Protein backbone atom coordinates (compact mmCIF):
# COMPACT_ATOMS: atom_id res chain seq x y z
CA UNK A 1 0.00 0.00 0.00
CA UNK A 2 1.31 3.45 -0.90
CA UNK A 3 1.45 5.73 2.14
CA UNK A 4 1.09 9.51 2.47
CA UNK A 5 4.85 9.67 3.01
CA UNK A 6 5.54 7.71 -0.23
CA UNK A 7 3.49 10.24 -2.24
CA UNK A 8 5.08 13.21 -0.46
CA UNK A 9 8.57 11.82 -1.22
CA UNK A 10 7.69 11.35 -4.89
CA UNK A 11 6.38 14.95 -5.07
CA UNK A 12 9.54 16.31 -3.44
CA UNK A 13 11.68 14.42 -5.97
CA UNK A 14 9.64 15.66 -8.95
CA UNK A 15 9.71 19.25 -7.67
CA UNK A 16 13.45 19.41 -8.29
CA UNK A 17 13.46 17.26 -11.41
CA UNK A 18 10.68 19.21 -13.19
CA UNK A 19 11.27 22.69 -11.73
CA UNK A 20 7.97 23.15 -9.84
CA UNK A 21 7.07 25.60 -7.09
CA UNK A 22 4.12 24.43 -4.97
CA UNK A 23 1.81 27.01 -3.39
CA UNK A 24 -0.53 25.79 -0.67
CA UNK A 25 -3.36 27.88 0.75
CA UNK A 26 -3.72 27.63 4.51
CA UNK A 27 -7.16 25.97 4.21
CA UNK A 28 -5.57 22.85 2.67
CA UNK A 29 -4.98 19.61 4.60
CA UNK A 30 -1.82 19.39 6.66
CA UNK A 31 -0.40 16.58 4.46
CA UNK A 32 -0.41 19.07 1.55
CA UNK A 33 1.02 21.92 3.63
CA UNK A 34 3.99 19.63 4.34
CA UNK A 35 5.02 19.55 0.64
CA UNK A 36 4.62 23.33 0.11
CA UNK A 37 7.27 25.81 -0.93
CA UNK A 38 4.97 28.54 0.39
CA UNK A 39 1.80 28.54 2.49
CA UNK A 40 -0.51 31.41 3.39
CA UNK A 41 -3.22 33.66 1.94
CA UNK A 42 -4.02 33.87 -1.77
CA UNK A 43 -2.38 37.19 -2.65
CA UNK A 44 0.74 36.52 -0.56
CA UNK A 45 1.20 33.20 -2.39
CA UNK A 46 0.91 34.92 -5.80
CA UNK A 47 3.60 37.42 -4.82
CA UNK A 48 5.89 34.64 -3.55
CA UNK A 49 5.47 32.74 -6.83
CA UNK A 50 6.40 35.82 -8.87
CA UNK A 51 9.74 36.03 -7.05
CA UNK A 52 10.96 32.43 -7.48
CA UNK A 53 12.97 31.25 -10.52
CA UNK A 54 10.83 28.12 -11.10
CA UNK A 55 9.12 27.91 -14.46
CA UNK A 56 6.17 25.81 -13.24
CA UNK A 57 3.80 26.66 -10.39
CA UNK A 58 1.06 24.52 -8.85
CA UNK A 59 -1.68 26.17 -6.78
CA UNK A 60 -3.31 23.96 -4.17
CA UNK A 61 -6.35 26.11 -3.50
CA UNK A 62 -9.26 27.35 -5.60
CA UNK A 63 -9.49 28.69 -9.15
CA UNK A 64 -9.31 32.46 -8.57
CA UNK A 65 -6.07 31.91 -6.62
CA UNK A 66 -4.40 30.09 -9.53
CA UNK A 67 -5.62 32.86 -11.85
CA UNK A 68 -4.08 35.53 -9.62
CA UNK A 69 -0.76 33.66 -9.79
CA UNK A 70 -0.99 33.70 -13.60
CA UNK A 71 -1.75 37.46 -13.63
CA UNK A 72 1.36 38.20 -11.55
CA UNK A 73 3.54 35.65 -13.39
CA UNK A 74 2.27 35.53 -16.99
CA UNK A 75 5.47 33.89 -18.26
CA UNK A 76 5.21 30.95 -15.87
CA UNK A 77 3.18 27.80 -16.49
CA UNK A 78 0.56 27.82 -13.72
CA UNK A 79 -1.61 24.84 -12.77
CA UNK A 80 -4.63 24.43 -10.52
CA UNK A 81 -4.08 21.05 -8.84
CA UNK A 82 -7.80 20.15 -8.83
CA UNK A 83 -9.74 21.71 -11.72
CA UNK A 84 -13.06 21.34 -9.86
CA UNK A 85 -11.97 23.48 -6.91
CA UNK A 86 -13.75 26.81 -7.28
CA UNK A 87 -14.77 29.45 -4.77
CA UNK A 88 -18.58 29.68 -4.41
CA UNK A 89 -18.26 33.32 -3.32
CA UNK A 90 -16.19 34.27 -6.38
CA UNK A 91 -18.79 32.53 -8.57
CA UNK A 92 -21.67 34.58 -7.12
CA UNK A 93 -20.95 37.66 -9.22
CA UNK A 94 -20.12 37.98 -12.92
CA UNK A 95 -19.55 40.87 -15.32
CA UNK A 96 -23.27 41.50 -16.22
CA UNK A 97 -24.24 41.60 -12.52
CA UNK A 98 -21.39 43.98 -11.65
CA UNK A 99 -22.09 46.21 -14.66
CA UNK A 100 -25.71 46.42 -13.49
CA UNK A 101 -24.56 47.58 -10.04
CA UNK A 102 -22.16 50.10 -11.56
CA UNK A 103 -25.03 51.57 -13.61
CA UNK A 104 -27.24 51.66 -10.52
CA UNK A 105 -24.56 53.46 -8.49
CA UNK A 106 -22.78 55.91 -10.84
CA UNK A 107 -19.79 57.73 -9.35
CA UNK A 108 -19.03 54.91 -6.89
CA UNK A 109 -15.53 53.39 -6.83
CA UNK A 110 -15.77 49.63 -7.47
CA UNK A 111 -13.73 47.80 -4.85
CA UNK A 112 -13.55 44.01 -5.18
CA UNK A 113 -12.32 41.48 -2.68
CA UNK A 114 -9.52 39.39 -4.21
CA UNK A 115 -11.91 36.40 -3.99
CA UNK A 116 -13.39 37.21 -7.41
CA UNK A 117 -12.74 35.91 -10.92
CA UNK A 118 -9.93 37.46 -12.94
CA UNK A 119 -12.43 38.54 -15.61
CA UNK A 120 -14.45 40.45 -13.02
CA UNK A 121 -11.30 42.20 -11.81
CA UNK A 122 -10.90 43.76 -15.27
CA UNK A 123 -13.92 46.05 -14.63
CA UNK A 124 -13.06 46.92 -11.01
CA UNK A 125 -11.20 50.03 -9.87
CA UNK A 126 -9.22 48.32 -7.13
CA UNK A 127 -8.81 45.00 -5.37
CA UNK A 128 -8.44 44.42 -1.64
CA UNK A 129 -7.43 41.51 0.55
CA UNK A 130 -8.95 40.98 3.98
CA UNK A 131 -5.74 42.27 5.56
CA UNK A 132 -5.32 45.33 3.31
CA UNK A 133 -8.96 46.43 2.86
CA UNK A 134 -9.02 48.85 5.82
CA UNK A 135 -5.89 50.73 4.72
CA UNK A 136 -6.84 50.78 1.03
CA UNK A 137 -10.38 52.06 1.61
CA UNK A 138 -8.87 54.76 3.85
CA UNK A 139 -6.55 55.81 1.01
CA UNK A 140 -9.26 56.00 -1.67
CA UNK A 141 -10.22 59.66 -2.23
CA UNK A 142 -13.72 58.85 -3.48
CA UNK A 143 -16.15 58.75 -0.53
CA UNK A 144 -18.56 56.46 -2.43
CA UNK A 145 -17.62 52.78 -2.44
CA UNK A 146 -19.32 49.87 -4.22
CA UNK A 147 -17.92 46.82 -2.40
CA UNK A 148 -18.25 43.31 -3.91
CA UNK A 149 -18.89 40.45 -3.35
CA UNK A 150 -18.75 40.03 0.44
CA UNK A 151 -21.03 42.32 2.48
CA UNK A 152 -19.62 40.91 5.73
CA UNK A 153 -16.02 41.96 5.01
CA UNK A 154 -17.36 45.15 3.42
CA UNK A 155 -19.61 45.92 6.40
CA UNK A 156 -16.73 45.40 8.84
CA UNK A 157 -14.60 47.85 6.84
CA UNK A 158 -17.50 50.31 6.47
CA UNK A 159 -17.79 50.60 10.26
CA UNK A 160 -14.19 51.83 10.33
CA UNK A 161 -14.89 54.45 7.65
CA UNK A 162 -18.16 56.13 8.72
CA UNK A 163 -17.39 59.13 6.49
CA UNK A 164 -17.81 57.00 3.35
CA UNK A 165 -21.02 55.78 1.74
CA UNK A 166 -20.95 52.05 0.97
CA UNK A 167 -23.13 49.97 -1.34
CA UNK A 168 -22.89 46.19 -1.21
CA UNK A 169 -23.58 43.14 -3.33
CA UNK A 170 -25.48 40.61 -1.23
CA UNK A 171 -23.07 37.69 -1.62
CA UNK A 172 -20.72 36.15 0.92
CA UNK A 173 -18.61 33.13 1.81
CA UNK A 174 -20.93 30.17 2.48
CA UNK A 175 -18.35 28.62 4.80
CA UNK A 176 -17.98 31.62 7.12
CA UNK A 177 -21.57 32.88 6.80
CA UNK A 178 -23.07 29.75 8.29
CA UNK A 179 -21.59 30.53 11.70
CA UNK A 180 -24.17 31.82 14.20
CA UNK A 181 -23.92 33.93 17.35
CA UNK A 182 -25.32 30.95 19.32
CA UNK A 183 -22.33 28.84 18.22
CA UNK A 184 -19.96 31.55 19.48
CA UNK A 185 -21.82 31.67 22.83
CA UNK A 186 -21.56 27.87 23.12
CA UNK A 187 -17.84 27.81 22.25
CA UNK A 188 -17.11 30.61 24.73
CA UNK A 189 -18.95 28.89 27.56
CA UNK A 190 -17.17 25.59 26.77
CA UNK A 191 -13.76 27.37 26.76
CA UNK A 192 -14.11 30.42 29.04
CA UNK A 193 -10.35 31.17 29.11
CA UNK A 194 -9.90 31.05 25.34
CA UNK A 195 -9.47 34.11 23.13
CA UNK A 196 -11.85 34.21 20.18
CA UNK A 197 -10.14 34.94 16.82
CA UNK A 198 -12.36 35.44 13.80
CA UNK A 199 -12.25 36.11 10.05
CA UNK A 200 -14.20 39.18 8.84
CA UNK A 201 -16.07 37.01 6.30
CA UNK A 202 -18.27 35.95 9.27
CA UNK A 203 -21.52 37.78 10.01
CA UNK A 204 -21.36 41.08 11.94
CA UNK A 205 -23.01 39.63 15.08
CA UNK A 206 -20.26 36.96 15.19
CA UNK A 207 -17.38 39.37 14.48
CA UNK A 208 -18.59 41.72 17.24
CA UNK A 209 -17.84 39.05 19.85
CA UNK A 210 -14.19 38.56 18.80
CA UNK A 211 -11.00 39.39 20.68
CA UNK A 212 -9.20 39.66 17.32
CA UNK A 213 -10.52 40.09 13.75
CA UNK A 214 -8.19 39.45 10.82
CA UNK A 215 -7.15 37.50 7.75
CA UNK A 216 -6.13 33.86 7.94
CA UNK A 217 -2.47 34.85 8.15
CA UNK A 218 -3.37 37.52 10.71
CA UNK A 219 -5.19 34.97 12.88
CA UNK A 220 -2.26 32.53 12.72
CA UNK A 221 0.32 35.22 13.54
CA UNK A 222 -1.80 36.56 16.42
CA UNK A 223 -2.20 33.08 17.95
CA UNK A 224 1.51 32.27 17.62
CA UNK A 225 2.65 35.54 19.21
CA UNK A 226 -0.01 35.76 21.93
CA UNK A 227 0.80 34.91 25.55
CA UNK A 228 -2.64 33.32 25.86
CA UNK A 229 -2.80 29.53 25.90
CA UNK A 230 -6.25 28.79 24.47
CA UNK A 231 -7.97 30.02 21.31
CA UNK A 232 -11.33 29.53 19.60
CA UNK A 233 -10.63 29.73 15.86
CA UNK A 234 -13.37 31.41 13.83
CA UNK A 235 -12.17 30.44 10.36
CA UNK A 236 -11.69 27.30 8.28
CA UNK A 237 -11.01 24.20 10.37
CA UNK A 238 -7.57 23.44 8.85
CA UNK A 239 -6.18 26.48 10.67
CA UNK A 240 -6.88 24.71 13.98
CA UNK A 241 -4.77 21.74 12.87
CA UNK A 242 -1.89 23.83 11.45
CA UNK A 243 -1.72 25.95 14.62
CA UNK A 244 -1.78 22.85 16.82
CA UNK A 245 1.29 21.54 14.95
CA UNK A 246 3.13 24.87 15.25
CA UNK A 247 2.21 25.62 18.88
CA UNK A 248 2.02 22.30 20.75
CA UNK A 249 1.99 24.11 24.12
CA UNK A 250 -1.29 25.90 23.26
CA UNK A 251 -4.85 24.66 22.70
CA UNK A 252 -6.94 25.52 19.63
CA UNK A 253 -10.66 24.84 19.35
CA UNK A 254 -12.75 25.06 16.15
CA UNK A 255 -15.60 27.54 16.57
CA UNK A 256 -17.86 25.07 14.78
CA UNK A 257 -17.47 21.61 13.25
CA UNK A 258 -19.22 23.06 10.18
CA UNK A 259 -16.41 25.50 9.43
CA UNK A 260 -15.06 23.50 6.49
CA UNK A 261 -14.68 24.77 2.92
CA UNK A 262 -15.45 21.69 0.84
CA UNK A 263 -14.01 23.33 -2.27
CA UNK A 264 -10.69 23.84 -0.54
CA UNK A 265 -10.77 20.23 0.59
CA UNK A 266 -11.15 18.84 -2.95
CA UNK A 267 -7.40 18.93 -3.56
CA UNK A 268 -5.46 15.80 -2.62
CA UNK A 269 -1.78 14.87 -2.62
CA UNK A 270 -2.49 12.60 -5.60
CA UNK A 271 -3.87 15.63 -7.51
CA UNK A 272 -0.53 17.35 -6.98
CA UNK A 273 1.40 14.26 -8.11
CA UNK A 274 -0.83 13.83 -11.19
CA UNK A 275 -0.37 17.49 -12.10
CA UNK A 276 3.40 17.07 -12.00
CA UNK A 277 3.18 13.93 -14.13
CA UNK A 278 0.94 15.60 -16.72
CA UNK A 279 -2.03 13.33 -15.97
CA UNK A 280 -4.09 15.76 -13.87
CA UNK A 281 -4.57 19.36 -12.84
CA UNK A 282 -5.39 22.16 -15.26
CA UNK A 283 -3.07 24.66 -16.84
CA UNK A 284 -4.46 28.17 -16.32
CA UNK A 285 -4.68 30.19 -19.52
CA UNK A 286 -5.85 33.80 -19.61
CA UNK A 287 -5.93 36.20 -22.55
CA UNK A 288 -3.45 39.08 -22.61
CA UNK A 289 -6.37 41.52 -22.28
CA UNK A 290 -7.71 39.82 -19.16
CA UNK A 291 -4.23 39.70 -17.60
CA UNK A 292 -3.67 43.38 -18.41
CA UNK A 293 -7.11 44.46 -17.13
CA UNK A 294 -6.88 42.48 -13.88
CA UNK A 295 -3.29 43.60 -13.30
CA UNK A 296 -4.42 47.24 -13.47
CA UNK A 297 -6.80 46.82 -10.53
CA UNK A 298 -4.21 44.78 -8.59
CA UNK A 299 -1.57 47.47 -9.26
CA UNK A 300 -3.96 50.07 -7.87
CA UNK A 301 -4.33 47.94 -4.72
CA UNK A 302 -0.53 47.96 -4.35
CA UNK A 303 -0.36 51.72 -5.00
CA UNK A 304 -3.00 52.33 -2.32
CA UNK A 305 -1.10 50.32 0.25
CA UNK A 306 -1.97 46.69 -0.31
**Does residue 117 touch ligand SF4 according to CB under 6 A?**
no
Q: Rounded distance, CA 285 to CA 290, Å? A: 10
**Does residue 115 touch ligand SF4 according to CB under 6 A?**
yes
**Does residue 210 touch ligand SF4 according to CB under 6 A?**
no
* Nearest distance, CB of residue 266 and ligand SF4, angstroms: 10
**Does residue 118 touch ligand SF4 according to CB under 6 A?**
no
**Taking the mean position of all CA atoms in its chain, how far away is CA 275?**
22
Of the residues 60, 148, 173, 272, which one makes contact with ligand SF4 according to CB under 6 A? 173
* Nearest distance, CB of residue 90 and ligand SF4, angstroms: 6
Q: Residues 272, 278, 280, 284: what is their CA dihedral angle, to the nearest 10 degrees?
A: 90
Which of positions 213-272 make contact with ligand SF4 (CB under 6 A)?
A: 236, 261, 263-264
Of the residues 74, 138, 174, 280, which one makes contact with ligand SF4 according to CB under 6 A? 174
Environment class of residue 54 by beta-carbon count within 10 Å: exposed (0-12), middle (13-18) or buried (19+)?
middle
> Considering beta carbons, is residue 26 or 276 the nearer one to ligand SF4?
26
Give, in degrees to the nearest 5, the angle at Cα 27 between 111 and 242: 130
DSSP, residue by residue, 202-256: S-HHHHTT-SEE--HHHHHHHHHH-S-SEEEEES-THHHHHHHHH-TTSEEEES-
Binding string, residues 77-106; x marks residues near ligand SF4 by CB under 6 A: ----------xxx-----------------
**Which residues are at the interface with ligand SF4 (CB under 6 A)?**
62, 87-89, 115, 173-175, 236, 261, 263-264
Amino acid sequence: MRTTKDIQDEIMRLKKEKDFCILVHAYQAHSIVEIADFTGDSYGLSVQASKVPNKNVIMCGVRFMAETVKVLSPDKTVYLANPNAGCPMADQIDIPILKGLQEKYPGYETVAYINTSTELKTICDTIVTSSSADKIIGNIENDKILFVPDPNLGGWIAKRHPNKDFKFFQGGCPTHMRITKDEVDEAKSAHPDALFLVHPECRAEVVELADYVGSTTGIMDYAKKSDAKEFIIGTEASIVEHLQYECPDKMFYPLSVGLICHNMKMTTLVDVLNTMNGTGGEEITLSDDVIKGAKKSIDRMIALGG
